[in-house]
Copies of this chain bind each other. A is one copy, B any other.
């Protein structure tokens, strides 16, 4: 639905007026150099934000944009919840920009309605193509991510709730604390920890947390 709007919007501005996109990343160096690169290579107007909240308020003030690019690990992103918030607020396409390019996240992002998944391992000129692709309303996913999707050792599919628990696990919270935080019973937390550990092939919560950090699952 939002996607449909995005297509129409993208097409309507194509003739004549300036296209503009928003890039959000907390690494100034990365964000600004990428923005600069796009400014030179395209005639797209680039705006930048340094956190999700920053991006949301800028979008609210100056939006909508033809495309919003969100860094996956950025203040307030809270995993892919930040993606949901941005998609809910804006009418245009929203894509995820990720440094570590974890396999699971790409799928999940797309399932949640992302317009694409842009790993930072991408070649600069491929980025230009990707951005124009997404502005045109298409979904962009690089081949290697696509490939990793099928096979790969990390075809770990966690449910939203499991991800909630896992994220808190990586903060060193106890089952009791997690239960209070999520407003569920402690037994339920244990259930999630158990299934989650099985999915990750972890020996215990600590192992699960470390694997999660390594695979960048949260």
Contacts and interface: CB of A to CB of B under 8 A. Distances in A.
Interface of A: 26-30, 32-34, 36-37, 99, 118-124, 127, 169-174, 202-211, 213
Given A37-B36, A174-B203, A203-B174, A29 B208 contact: no
Contacts of A211: 172
7 contacts: A28-B124, A29-B123, A29-B127, A33-B33, A33-B34, A33-B124, A99-B99
A32 B123 contact: yes
Nearest to A213: B213
A28 B123 contact: yes
Contacts of A37: 32-33, 36-37
A30 B31 CA distance: 9
Contacts of A26: 121
Contacts of A202: 172
Contacts of A213: 210, 213
B124 A36 contact: yes
Contact of A203 (B123, B172, B206): B172
A205 B173 CA distance: 10
B36 A172 contact: no
B33 A204 contact: no
Nearest to A34: B33
A145 to B, nearest CB: 14
Given A170-B206, A213-B213, 17 more contacts: A26-B121, A27-B121, A29-B34, A29-B118, A29-B120, A29-B122, A30-B30, A30-B33, A30-B120, A37-B37, A99-B99, A171-B210, A172-B202, A172-B203, A172-B206, A205-B206, A210-B213
A29 B206 contact: no
Given A30-B120, A120-B30, A207 B171 contact: yes
Most chain B beta-carbon contacts within 10 A, residue among A36, A172, A173, A209: A172
A7 B41 CA distance: 37
Contacts of A210: 170-172, 209-210, 213
